[in-house]
């Protein structure tokens, strides 16, 4: 199969899945009677509609080429960081540091991906931003809770820019026998992560009884995690045809992606709770904010990127 | 109006400006919106939060010493925002509020910041008497409190670039009208209405 064929099959399959989900949603909406089930189904349908929107955005960005995908993720980082900083108590003294994070770091980080400058892409935020952001903040001489404020900004920047940028960074890998097809790897990552989230939600709603971490995230159940996680791993394994991996390698990679995605959801939930919020935002109807949808990607993308680079890159 | 539409789009992209109404508003009535004032974006943020049909008839009150400072700002404020400019430091004997009275008499709704200046705090300080005089002169016009959330974080006093932080415009129910109310009591009640929205 050529790249174009694989790509079209992939999106055709997703469109079929979503169409099925839309039909099921309609049928359930007619059957729902009690208030709570009506609310659940309405939320389900909002989620499915939002999925249509997200898939269309990805489809169009692929058609426009690699740079468009990089720009798309730059905006995802911007919206994610916007949500993170909105919930984080920062003060006037952080204004210039935050200005640099939003308007210098985000464009720069994605420019480094666009220009394939790998070493600087991995160092910019952990080294340069780590040292320079507090240096900028200290000039305003506000020492109240300085460490807390600095740490929170650093965390936001790491999660929302550094971690998310590892997804489009898959485009700059040079993989053996896979040249020019890296976009498929990006779709593979996003697909497995999001499928795992969706299947955990479905299994949880259908069979969920035992909560995994009730204090952190009341909606995550053992049944959802095991059922959804394992089926997503298996489906991910079967998607090996769009990756440079064999079936078994793909199965292992999917397992890592699912596990990291789950942990990411859990950690981001805990952060949300410590900032006393239920959702990160309201941007994506039915899902909450951008970070509610990206939390699993934040954790899965960097690890998937490095494993792939370590084991499969030619350089 | 293309200028205000362009400005509103930029603002939406940067700071979201979602409106949260305490209860569904009756936009057919003439209204005086009053809000806490922390940034140069406040006026535009309120206009952006209003439904399009309410936007047309609303005139924000702005200080002539800032918004009339140069041709650019004066073009933006008058053509883009449809503002009424008032002198904050008038010559003796001149009624500062006269231009505002004129537009309210003409049937326009207005936006006013009763503290008279931007504050570096999120919550409003004491109000000046202008709001009281408006309420006294126009008892039939609804007085609507607005709390602007996070705008002091996005573009605090002294900073010139807004940060992308999501700002929410909390619009309350009109203040109940109480006849023969003392000035200080009224101003405190109006301020309390904004504090209530901030919680």
Over residues A187-201, the mean pLDDT reads: 94
Angle subtended at Cα A277 by Cα A34 and Cα B164, rounded to the nearest 5 degrees = 120
Q: How far apart are CA A257 and CA A263, in angstroms?
A: 10
Please check whether residues A205 and A287 belong to one and the same domain: yes
Q: How confident is the model at residue A294 (pLDDT cuts 50, 70, 90)?
A: very high
In a domain, A126, yes or no: yes
Q: Which residues contact A269 (CB under 8 A, 6 or more apart)?
A: A216, A217, A295
Give the C-alpha distances (Å, rounded to integers) separating B197 from B50, B124, B192: 17, 12, 9
B168 contact A CB<8A: no
Predicted TM-score of the model (pTM): 0.91
Over residues B85-90, the mean pLDDT reads: 82
Range of the domain at A19: 1-64
Q: How confident is the model at residue B53 (pLDDT cuts 50, 70, 90)?
A: confident
Please check whether residues A106 and A233 belong to one and the same domain: no
The lowest-confidence range among A14-23, A134-143, B58-67 is B58-67
In a domain, A79, yes or no: yes
Q: What per-residue confidence (pLDDT) applies to B182?
A: 92
Please check whether residues A125 and A226 belong to one and the same domain: no
Q: How far apart are CA A103 and CA A88, in angstroms?
A: 18
Q: What per-residue confidence (pLDDT) applies to A118?
A: 94
Of A165, A191, A207, which residue constitutes the final position of a domain?
A165
Are the beta carbons of A78 and B163 separated by less than 8 Å?
A: no
**ipTM confidence score:** 0.87
Residue with tokens 């059957």: A31
Please check whether residues A283 and A248 belong to one and the same domain: yes
Please check whether residues A73 and A154 belong to one and the same domain: yes
Q: What per-residue confidence (pLDDT) applies to A290?
A: 93
B184 SS3 class: helix
Q: What per-residue confidence (pLDDT) applies to B150?
A: 93
Are the beta carbons of B165 and A86 separated by less than 8 Å?
A: yes
Q: Which of A91, A95, A142, A280 is the best residue to mutate to test the B interface, defined by the most B CB atoms within 10 Å of its own CB? A: A95
Residue A282 reports pLDDT greater than 90: no
In a domain, A92, yes or no: yes
Strand B142-149 and strand B168-171: pairing? antiparallel
Please check whether residues A196 and A312 belong to one and the same domain: yes
Please check whether residues A301 and A185 belong to one and the same domain: yes
In a domain, A76, yes or no: yes
Q: Starting from the edge strand earliest in sequence, which strands make up the sheet with B84-86, in order?
A: B18-21, B168-171, B142-149, B31-35, B109-112, B58-63, B84-86
Q: Which residue in chain A is spatially nearest to B162 when comparing CA positions? A: A99
Q: Which has the closest alpha carbon to B155: B11, B31, B20? A: B11
Q: Which has the closest alpha carbon to B7: B48, B46, B61? A: B48
Q: How far apart are CA A10 and CA A18, in angstroms?
A: 12
Q: Which of B151, B164, B167 is the best residue to mutate to test the A interface, defined by the most A CB atoms within 10 Å of its own CB? A: B164
CA distance to partner chain A, nearest, from residue B5 (Å):
21
Residue A315 reports pLDDT greater than 80: no
Q: How confident is the model at residue B96 (pLDDT cuts 50, 70, 90)?
A: confident
> Token pair for residue B72?
């650019």
Encode B101-141 in three state secondary structure.
HHHHHCCCEEEECCCCCCCCCCCCCCCCCHHHHHHHHCCCC
B199 contact A CB<8A: no
Q: Where are the alpha helices (DSSP H) in chain B?
A: 2-15, 42-49, 52-55, 64-67, 71-75, 98-105, 130-137, 151-154, 183-197
Residue A106 reports pLDDT greater than 90: yes
Over residues A244-258, the mean pLDDT reads: 96
In a domain, A84, yes or no: yes
Q: Which of residues 17-76 of B touch A (CB under 8 A)?
A: 18
In this complex, which of B18, B156, B165 lies closest to A85 when CB atoms are compared? B165
In a domain, A175, yes or no: no
Are the beta carbons of B159 and A81 separated by less than 8 Å?
A: no
The lowest-confidence range among A191-195, B58-62, B78-82 is B78-82
Q: What per-residue confidence (pLDDT) applies to A254?
A: 97
CA distance to partner chain A, nearest, from residue B39 (Å):
13
* Structural domains of chain B in order of their starting residue, each with its CATH number: 2-197 (3.40.1130.10)
> Token pair for residue A26?
């309609």
Residue B87 reports pLDDT greater than 90: no
Q: Which has the closest alpha carbon to B193: B167, B170, B165? A: B170
Phi then psi for residue B25, to 5 deg, are -80, 155
Residue B26 reports pLDDT greater than 90: no
Q: How far apart are CA A314 and CA A196, in angstroms?
A: 30
Please check whether residues A1 and A34 belong to one and the same domain: yes
Q: What per-residue confidence (pLDDT) applies to B185?
A: 94
Convert the pLDDT of each residue in A26-72 to its tens digit. 998 888 888 888 888 888 899 999 999 999 999 999 889 889 999 99
In a domain, A302, yes or no: yes
In a domain, A17, yes or no: yes
Query: Taking a C-beta distance cutoff of 8 angstroms, is the pair B67, B41 a contact?
Result: no
Please check whether residues A209 and A315 belong to one and the same domain: yes
Q: How far apart are CA A108 and CA A124, in angstroms?
A: 9
Q: DSSP readout, chain A?
A: --HHHHHHHHHHHHHHHHHHHHHHHHHHHHH--SHHHHHHHHHHHHHHHHHHHHHHHHHHHHHH-HHHHHHHHHHHHHHHHHHHHHHS---GGGHHHHHHIIIIIHHHHHHHHHTT-HHHHHHIIIIIIHHHHHHHHHTTT--TTHHHHHHHHHHHHIIIIIIHHTTGGGGG--BTT-TT-HHHHHHHHHHHHHHHHHHHHHHHHHH--SBS-TTT-TT-BHHHHHHHHHHHHHHHHHGGGGSSS-HHHHHHHHHHHHHHHHHHHHHHHHHHHHTT-SSS-SSBTTTBSHHHHHHHHHHHHHHHHHHHHHHHB--
Q: How confident is the model at residue A179 (pLDDT cuts 50, 70, 90)?
A: confident
Please check whether residues A79 and A157 belong to one and the same domain: yes
Of A21, A43, A64, which residue constitutes the final position of a domain?
A64
Residue B90 reports pLDDT greater than 80: no
Domain count, chain A: 3
Q: What per-residue confidence (pLDDT) applies to A60?
A: 93
Of A64, A85, A103, which residue constitutes the final position of a domain?
A64
CA distance to partner chain A, nearest, from residue B26 (Å):
26
Quick one: angle between helices A3-31 and A35-64, nearest 10?
160
């Amino acid at each position: 199969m050529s790249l174009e064929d694989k790509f079209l099959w992939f999106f055709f399959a997703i469109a079929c899945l979503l169409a099925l989900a839309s039909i099921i949603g309609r049928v359930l909406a007619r059957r729902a009677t009690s208030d709570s089930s009506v609310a659940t189904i309405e939320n389900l349908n909002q989620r499915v509609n939002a999925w249509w929107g997200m898939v269309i955005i990805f489809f169009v960005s692929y058609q426009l080429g690699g740079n468009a995908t990089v720009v798309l993720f730059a905006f995802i980082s911007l919206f994610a960081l916007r949500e993170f900083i909105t919930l984080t108590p920062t003060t006037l003294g952080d204004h210039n540091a935050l200005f640099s994070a939003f308007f210098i770091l985000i464009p720069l980080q994605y420019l480094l991906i666009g220009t394939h400058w790998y070493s600087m892409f991995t160092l910019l935020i952990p080294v340069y931003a780590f040292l320079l952001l507090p240096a900028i903040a200290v000039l305003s001489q506000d020492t109240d809770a300085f460490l807390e404020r600095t740490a929170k900004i650093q965390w936001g920047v790491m999660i929302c820019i550094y971690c998310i940028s590892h997804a489009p960074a898959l485009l700059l890998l040079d993989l053996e026998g896979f040249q020019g097809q890296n976009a498929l790897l990006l779709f593979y990552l996003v697909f497995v992560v999001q499928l795992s989230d969706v299947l955990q939600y479905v299994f949880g709603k259908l069979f969920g009884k035992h909560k995994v971490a009730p204090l952190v995230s009341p909606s995550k159940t053992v049944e959802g995690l095991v059922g959804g996680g394992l089926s997503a791993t298996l489906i991910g394994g079967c998607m090996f045809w769009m990756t440079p991996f064999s079936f078994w390698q793909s199965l292992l990679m999917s397992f890592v992606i699912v596990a990291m995605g789950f942990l990411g959801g859990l950690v981001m939930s805990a952060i949300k709770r410590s900032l006393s919020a239920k959702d990160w935002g309201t941007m994506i109807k039915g899902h909450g904010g951008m970070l509610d949808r990206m939390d699993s990607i934040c954790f899965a993308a960097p690890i998937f990127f490095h494993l792939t680079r370590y084991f499969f890159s030619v350089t | 109006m293309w200028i205000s539409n362009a400005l509103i789009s930029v603002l939406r992209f940067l700071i979201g400006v979602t409106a949260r109404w305490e209860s569904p508003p009756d936009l057919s009535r003439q209204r005086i919106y009053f809000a806490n004032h922390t940034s140069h974006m406040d006026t535009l943020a309120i206009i952006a939060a209003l439904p399009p049909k309410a936007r047309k008839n609303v005139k924000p009150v702005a200080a002539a010493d800032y918004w009339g400072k140069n041709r650019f700002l004066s073009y933006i404020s008058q053509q883009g925002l449809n503002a009424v400019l008032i002198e904050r430091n008038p010559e003796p004997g001149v009624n500062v509020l006269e231009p505002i009275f004129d537009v309210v008499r003409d049937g326009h709704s207005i936006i006013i910041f009763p503290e008279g200046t931007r504050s570096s705090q999120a919550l409003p300080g004491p109000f000046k008497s202008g709001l009281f005089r408006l309420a006294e002169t126009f008892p039939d016009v609804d007085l609507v409190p607005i709390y602007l959330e996070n705008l002091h974080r996005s573009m605090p006093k002294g900073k010139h670039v807004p940060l992308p932080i999501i700002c929410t415009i909390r619009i309350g129910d009109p203040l109940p009208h109480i006849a023969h109310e003392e000035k200080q009591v009224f101003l405190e009640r109006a301020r309390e209405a904004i504090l209530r929205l901030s919680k």
